[in-house]
Amino acid sequence: MILNISNRLDAFIERIGQISSWFIFILVLQVSADVLFRYFFHISSIAEQELQWHILAIIAMIGSAYTFQQGEHVRVDLFYAHYSEKVKQWMDIIIPVFIIIPYSLFIIYLSSEYVMQSYITGEVSPDPGGLPYRYLVKSLIPIGFTLILIQGLAVLLKAVSKIKGEK
């Protein structure tokens, strides 16, 4: 049962990773269009340029959980690669419990207030012609850390099931 829950969480994060990859494609198209319009037609837009970093924020914040799932996150592989499977399983319990889950909850808590303040004040881009609704891009912070929290739970549950000997 524990492994089943972990697999469902992993499937959810994998789908999020696929969505993130589409945003990479969209960003490439958008930057290409920006270059085309700027250098060939001498047309430029502050909103279009801001949209580029908003899309990059989407890629970074929702793609980070997928990166974590695939084992491509920052980790001291120099040591981790040489550990026995039993030590790796215990590390996959200890790290989520003491680092990933508490840190994610803390960032979600802090950034939620930050997003609400932006929403309440109706924050917009400080640049003329920039994008409105700044709280939308700021909301990616708690969303991204919620996804990291979900993946941390998946890693934890998978490690617990391995230690218990579940198949």
* pLDDT for the residue numbered 114: 95
- Distance CA(26)–CA(22), nearest Å, equals 6
- Surface-to-core class of residue 147, CB atoms within 10 Å of its CB (0-12 exposed, 13-18 middle, 19+ buried): buried
Tell me how many domains the chain contains: 1
Determine the angle formed by the axes of helices 46-69 and 2-40, rounding to 10 degrees.
150
- Cα dist from 34 to 28, 57, 159, whole Å: 10, 18, 46
Those residues of the chain that have pLDDT short of 50 are none
Q: Which amino acid is at 143?
A: I
State the DSSP string of 131-160: -S-HHHHHTHHHHHHHHHHHHHHHHHHHHH
- Distance CA(92)–CA(126), nearest Å, equals 43
pTM of the model: 0.89
* pLDDT for the residue numbered 88: 85
Kindly report, residue by residue over 55-94, the tens digit of the pLDDT. Answer: 999 999 999 999 999 887 766 566 777 888 888 888 889 9
Helices and strands (DSSP H and E) totals, the chain:
7, 0
Domain span at 36? 2-164
State the DSSP string of 64-93: HHHHHHTT-SS--HHHHTTS-HHHHHHHHH
The closest alpha carbon to 150, from 83, 96, 106, belongs to 96
